[in-house]
């Protein structure tokens, strides 16, 4: 899998179209996204870490919120309700997320339909930022750095950002080994046809980077403390405190 070759990658509109049709797959809080290894554990770890690192959570930003799983999980562990802003390319995903989150909080819910990179948001507003299975859609180094700088700018002083995502590896043979392990997981989960389908849309849509590289970038843009919570095969859960 090539992580720095972007020719032929899916457009934002093409990615949006696929997610518009997959709302149900993203609407199970117990399993999370099944194509992700350890998805329930990753959700638990980033949300518990957010509460541990950020004692006063007043406002949360959920980037690429999907059907709302991560905000729902955070509401389970946070000591008090909070306002949340939800961003997603997919309008059906946003509608489902708002409908699922609403009954579980007295906080305000803001909905932003669009690409996080271009949505205008208030600086230093968010005590916690969540980004689950979304940043792997970024492309070149400039795109990654610009996005991480925006995340830092939106994070309130003392606030934190928590990420779960598909990741690549710095060493070619390790990348190959981990990718073969992931393919084995997909085959065990849904058979050869399912594995081929997931691999095809990853190749078409995604440009993951190593978790080590991303944590270095978080520090570079201004975050002070890094935490690697979990890594298994091609998936990691990690975060940073401002």
What percentage of the chain has pLDDT greater than the value 90?
Answer: 85
Task: Name the nearest CA neighbour of 84 among 115, 63, 66, 67.
Answer: 63
Q: 116-142 pLDDT, tens per residue?
A: 999 999 999 999 999 999 999 999 999
- Domains of the chain, CATH where assigned: 12-241 (3.40.50.150)
**From residue 131, how far is each of 136, 150, 171, 216 by CA, in Å?**
10, 13, 25, 17
- Which pLDDT belongs to residue 27? 83
| C-alpha torsion 135→204→182→225, nearest 10 | -10
Residues 74-83 pLDDT 10s:
999 999 999 9
Binned at pLDDT 50, 70 and 90, residue 4 comes out as low
Helix %, strand %, coil % for the chain, to 5? 45, 20, 30
E strands, 4-108, are 59-63, 83-88
**The pLDDT of residue 1:** 40
Q: What is the pTM of this model?
A: 0.95
């Amino acid at each position: 899998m090539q992580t720095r070759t972007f020719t032929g990658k899916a457009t934002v509109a093409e990615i949006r179209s696929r997610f518009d049709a997959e709302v149900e797959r993203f609407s199970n809080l117990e399993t999370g996204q099944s194509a992700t290894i350890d998805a329930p554990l990753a959700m638990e770890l980033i949300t518990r870490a957010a509460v541990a690192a950020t004692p006063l959570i007043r406002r949360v930003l959920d980037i690429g919120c999907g059907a709302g799983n991560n905000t729902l999980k955070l509401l389970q562990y946070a000591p008090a309700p909070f306002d949340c802003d939800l961003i997603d390319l997919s309008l059906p995903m946003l509608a489902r997320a708002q409908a699922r989150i609403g009954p579980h909080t007295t906080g305000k819910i803001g909905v932003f339909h669009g690409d996080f990179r271009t949505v205008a948001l208030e600086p230093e507003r968010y005590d916690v930022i969540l980004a689950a299975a979304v940043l792997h859609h970024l492309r070149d180094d400039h795109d990654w750095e610009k996005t991480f700088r925006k995340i830092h700018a939106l994070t309130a002083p003392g606030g934190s950002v928590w990420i779960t995502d598909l990741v690549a590896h710095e060493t070619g043979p390790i990348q190959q080994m981990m990718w073969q392990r992931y393919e084995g997981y997909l085959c065990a989960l849904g058979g050869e046809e399912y594995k081929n389908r997931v691999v095809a849309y990853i190749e078409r849509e995604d440009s993951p980077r190593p978790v080590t590289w991303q944590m270095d970038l978080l520090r570079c843009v201004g975050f002070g403390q890094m935490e690697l919570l979990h890594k298994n095969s091609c998936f990691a859960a990690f975060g940073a405190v401002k």
